[in-house]
Amino acid sequence: MVSFFQQNTKFVSMQKSSIYNDFSGIFSKNRLKLIQKLFNKRHFLSLIAAEVVFTFVSSSKKILKKLPMTALLKTSSHTSLRPASLLKALLLLAGLVACLSANAQGWEIYFGGNNDDFGQSIIQTQDRGYVGVGHSESTGAGNNYKAYVIRTDVDGTEIWENYYDDGFKEFGYSITETPDHGFLVAGEIFPTQLSDANVYLLKINADGQKLWSKQFGGSGDDSGYRIIPTTFSSGYLIVGSTTSLGNGQRDVFLVKIDAQGNQVWSKAYGTSGDDDGRSVLEVPDGYLVAGTAFNPANSTKDGYLLKVDFSGNEVWSKFFGSTTDIDQLYDLVLTADGNVALAGFTGSSSDGWVLKTDLDGNQIWSKTFGGSLGDDVYDLLKTS
C-alpha cells in the first residue's frame, strides 16, 4: 500500500550548517537533522519542490493516525518510520523551502490494494496537486506488477488512480508533466515471462487514460530510471542502463525522444565492467549524467559523471570516490553559483555522500555524513 504523508510548514529563519556553507543553498543543518530523525536515508528515492509543504511517499500495510510533527520528532519508534517496517519502502519525496515549525500539522493517506504497492517518484503538478508513479501487485492477471499512477489534489485527496498493463510486468520509476497537462512515465517492462526488460515509456492524459506506450532497447536487459524534458530541442531524455549495447556487462543508457515518443537517438556509455546511469541534467552545452561505473584504475565501482553533447556524443567522463571501496551517485543539480552538486553513498558501510564539481567535472569539495546503520542520499533539492 502506497502512503502519502504531508507536513505543512511555516517560514522561519534558517542558519546554514557550517559543514555545508559551500553547498550554495542545497542543504541546511535543520533540514538534514529532520531527515535523519524521520527516516534512515537508505530509503530516500525522490524529492519534489513545493512552497510550503513536503510529502513522503512509501509503502506500508499499517494505517497511521494524523500526528503533530513534534510527536514524530520525539520518538524514533513510530511504526511507519522504523527501518524494519520500511524494507519495502521505495520512496521518500519532499519539497522543502523553509525549516519546519515544530507544532505544524499534517496528514497521511494510503493508496493501493491488498498486495504490494510501491511509490517511486512524485511531482507537483501545474495546479499544485500531486502525481505519483510506481508499481503495484494489487491488480492484473496473476498479481504481476503493473505500472501504477495516482493523481491527488493539493490536500492529498485522490482524483484518480490507474494501472497500466502492456506486458508481463511493468515498473514505473519516473514521471514528468507534459505541456498538454498529461504525463510521461519512464520505467521498465518485461514483455513476456521469459523476456528481458525493455525501457518503458507510457503517455497518459490528464485523466490518467493511456494514450500510447513505447519500448526501447535491444536483445538484452534495458531499464529507464529517470525522464526529463529537454529545452535545447523539444522532447525528452531518458537515462538508465542497458546490456543490449555498450562495452561491458551493463552500461549507461541514454534515449532521446521527441514529443511524440519517437526515438531520436540512443547510445550506451561506460567501461568494460558494470555501469549504470541514475540521473541526468541539462546544461548549456549538453547533458551531465550521474551514476556508477567500474573504474579500471582501481578495479572498484566508483561514482561516475558523464558529459555528452546534445547529439549524445561523449565529451568526457570522470570517476569520484574511494580507491578501495564502492561508491554510487544517484542525483545531481545545478547550484546557484553555476556548479554541480551530486549525491549518493560511499563505502561498503554506506555513508551519505555529497560532492561539488564545476561544469567540467573538476571536484571542488566532497563531504560524507551519517551514522552506524548505513546512510544513502538518493536525491538533491535545490532551494531558492
In this predicted structure, the answer to whether residue 89 has a pLDDT above a threshold of 50 is no
69 against 201, higher pLDDT: 201
For residue 68, being part of any structural domain is answered with yes
Residue 297 lies in a domain: no
Q: What is the pLDDT of residue 218?
A: 94
What are the grid coordinates assigned to 103, written together? 507544532
Domain assignment present for residue 18? The answer is yes
- DSSP assigned state of 99: P
Residues facing 162 on adjacent strands: 149
Angle, CA of 274, 279 and 284, to the nearest 5°: 120
CA dihedral angle for residue 321, residue 325, residue 326, residue 330, rounded to 10 degrees: -30
Examine residue 334 and state whether it is found in any structural domain, yes or no. Answer: no
In a domain, 350, yes or no: no
pTM, 2 dp: 0.76
Asked if the structure places residue 208 within a domain, the reply is yes
User: Which range marks the domain in which residue 134 is found?
Assistant: 2-284
Residues 195 and 170: their CA atoms lie apart, in Å, by: 12
Integer Cα distance of 306 and 280 in angstroms:
9
In a domain, 174, yes or no: yes
> Checking DSSP bridges between strand 169-177 and strand 286-295, what pairing results, if any?
unpaired
What's residue 331's pLDDT? 93
Question: Over the stretch 139-152, which tens digit does the pLDDT of each residue have?
Answer: 756 668 999 999 99
Q: What is the pLDDT of residues 204-216, one digit of tens each?
A: 999 999 999 999 9
| Range of lowest pLDDT (112-126, 168-182, 262-276, 286-300) | 112-126
Q: Is the pLDDT of residue 187 over 70?
A: yes
Kindly state whether residue 333 falls inside one of the protein's structural domains: no
Query: If you write DSSP's letter for every residue of 32-90 in order, what string do you get?
Result: HHHHHHHS-GGG-------SSEEEEEEE-SS------HHHHHH-S--GGGSGGGGTT--
Residue 101's alpha-carbon distances to 7, 8, 34, in angstroms, are 10, 8, 11
158 in Cβ contact with 150 (< 8 Å): yes
Q: Which residue has the higher pLDDT, 83 or 241?
A: 241
Per-residue pLDDT tens digits for 36-60 = 433 333 333 444 433 333 344 444 4
pLDDT higher than threshold 70 for residue 95: no
Count structural domains, the chain: 1
Contacts of 260 (CB under 8 A, 6+ apart): none
CA distance 147 to 200: 10
More reliable by pLDDT, 302 or 111: 302
